[in-house]
Amino acid sequence: MNTKTPAARINTVDPAEIARFSAMAAEWWDPAGKFRPLHKFNPTRLAYIRERVVRHFALDPAVRRPFEGLRILDIGCGGGLLCEPMARMGAHVVGADAGDLNIATAQVHAGEQGLAIDYRCTTAEALAEAGEQFDIILNMEVIEHVADRAGFINACAGMVKPGGLMFVATLNRTLKAYSLAIVGAEYLLRWLPAGTHEWSKFVTPAELAADIAAAGLDIAEQTGVGYNPILDRWSLTPDMAVNYMVLCERPR
């Protein structure tokens, strides 16, 4: 592996490198490509985030940039599919990912789009150590991939300002989730590469609730997110058996 930091890679003006990341960005951002499921899923979770943030912080929903003045961390940001909309809605966004290729890709794409996003190749633990604080943390489809879930949630929770929010999205450890998210999405539909998810790492709402409580946050709301194969559309549902989101708040 390349040992240079991604920032250094971007700053050293190597046109071949930039072209490679630009090609990877095009792949991340192709709505019909490898990340099609995320693009399909994105409007549903964005609408949820926008609505809840506007309500919680009493913002004006009619303006183009309602999130102006908010500092948001997207932990495990990948190619920046959530960071860019947040920046367009006016937020100051820090996108963090442990994968240096992801960060380089996200940086190149945001640059092409003319968006100022603070991308960093780092971990939640390192950010917490540095004393970072955020109004909102987006913790979306990450906890089912980390080794020490309780430690990770604790590190994230510690960076939420009093009165701030954390959104957590993940997959439930049910038979239904196994058949849909692993057998269906990875093997039958091939939406995701086989091996993307490990069923044993899926998290039940009760386990997540315990981790969140231990980290000192209050759960404000939980909702399921369901896919309708006929409409090819995602929507919120009370059924939390597969995909679900939890909204939590640090008490003032």
Interface positions with another protein (CB under 8 A): 22, 25-26, 29, 31-32, 39-40, 42-43, 46-47, 50, 62-65, 68, 84-90, 109, 112-116
CB of 19 to another protein, least distance (A): 12
E strand residue ranges, 12-141 = 71-75, 92-97, 118-121, 134-140
Instruction: Report the half-sphere exposure of 169 (CA within 13 A, side-chain side).
Output: 22
Closest CB to another protein among 2 and 228? 228
CB of 66 to another protein, least distance (A): 9
User: CB-based contacts of 76: which residues, under 8 Å, 6+ apart?
Assistant: 96, 97, 98, 139, 140, 141, 142, 145
CB of 36 to another protein, least distance (A): 8
Could you identify the residue written with the tokens 């794409």? 109
CB of 117 to another protein, least distance (A): 10
Closest CB to another protein among 22 and 179? 22
Distance CA 5, CA 134 (A): 24
Closest CB to another protein among 87 and 127? 87
What angle separates helix 205-214 from helix 149-158, to the nearest 10 degrees? 50
Closest CB to another protein among 111 and 151? 111
